[in-house]
Amino acid sequence: MLTGEQVIVTTRHEHGLDPGGDPIYEDDPPETVDDVLVDTSTEDDIEATRPDGIRIDCTLRFPRSWPYRSLRGARIRMRGNDYRVIGDPQPIYGGITPTRWNLTVQLHDERG
């Protein structure tokens, strides 16, 4: 039986605009999510051509039990390291799905 790990998710929300009209974001309180599957990157991920040249450092699979909300711009703390979510992952809905995980989240380690 597969068992996931615990990660800490910090999402953000728009809090206003700066003088130039760009959005200002504020962090929401960190949230602990249990049973997240962790898949470290492979050579295919590192060498793949991605939009804007972004490298995928690992991929997470969130459980269906997690109440979905947008992860755009979120940070995830896993195994003592902080990662940034790539894009705005969307859950898989409907149909027959054989596992209890329905959201694939790709992460980038901004430390380089």
Q: Please write the tens of the pLDDT for every residue from 57-78.
A: 999 999 999 999 999 999 999 9
- Second CATH level (architecture) for the domain 5-108: Beta Barrel (2.40)
Residue 42 has pLDDT above 70, yes or no: no
Give the pTM: 0.82
The confidence score (pLDDT) of residue 110 equals: 80
1 against 6, higher pLDDT: 6
The confidence score (pLDDT) of residue 44 equals: 53
Name residue 77's beta-bridge partners: 8, 82
Tell me the CB-side half-sphere exposure of residue 4, using CA atoms within 13 A: 22
Q: What percent of the chain has pLDDT over 70?
A: 84
